């Protein structure tokens, strides 16, 4: 089982898709990493040798910010927006959509369960 950046990659998947299980690596980044490491996209994760895994691990470590470091950076960026008190920071603080979506009828994922006001019977 290949373990890269603290993530166990699924054994049966092709390596180009297996690498996308790492937070911060998408399909384009995965293909770029494999090109630089000189590994075929068609190989399955369980077919990789230790040298190939080491090459992938080195490429990710040298060129990409992934997993814990990236999550920490994203959290710090959001906290900075909230501390500044700008519009995006206020939306984050209130738990509302940040990117301009309408909230009158939608946004239940962000707002939570519907809060009804008053009672229906008199």
pLDDT tens digits for 101-110?
A: 999 988 999 9
Would you call 4 helix, strand, or coil by DSSP?
strand
- Helix boundaries (H) for the chain: 15-18, 27-37, 50-63, 67-84, 87-94, 108-111
**18 and 43 Cβ atoms separated by less than 8 Å:** no
pLDDT tens digits along 33-81 = 999 999 999 999 999 999 999 999 999 999 999 999 999 999 999 999 9
pLDDT band at 8 (very low <50, low <70, confident <90, very high): very high
Q: Examine the pLDDT at 120 and tell me if it is beyond 90.
A: no
Mean pLDDT, rounded, for 20-26: 95
Name the CATH superfamily, with its identifier, for domain 68-111.
Ribosomal protein S13/S18, C-terminal domain (4.10.910.10)
Q: Give the integer Cα–Cα distance in Å for 109 and 3.
A: 33
Distances (CA, A) of 40 to 21, 56, 91, 96: 18, 12, 44, 43
The CATH 1.10.8.50 domain(s) of the chain lie at 3-66
Mean pLDDT of 75-99: 95
């Amino acid at each position: 089982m290949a373990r890269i950046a603290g993530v166990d990659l699924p054994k049966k998947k092709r390596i180009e898709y297996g690498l996308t299980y790492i937070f911060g690596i998408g399909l384009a980044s995965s293909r770029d990493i494999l090109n630089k490491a000189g590994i075929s996209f068609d190989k399955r994760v369980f077919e990789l040798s230790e040298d190939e895994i080491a090459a992938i691990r080195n490429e990710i470590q040298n060129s990409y910010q992934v997993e814990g470091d990236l999550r920490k950076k994203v959290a710090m960026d959001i906290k900075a927006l909230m501390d500044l008190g700008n519009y995006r920071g206020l939306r984050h603080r209130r738990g509302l959509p940040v990117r301009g979506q309408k909230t009158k009828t939608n946004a239940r994922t962000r707002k939570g369960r519907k809060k009804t006001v008053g009672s229906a019977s008199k």
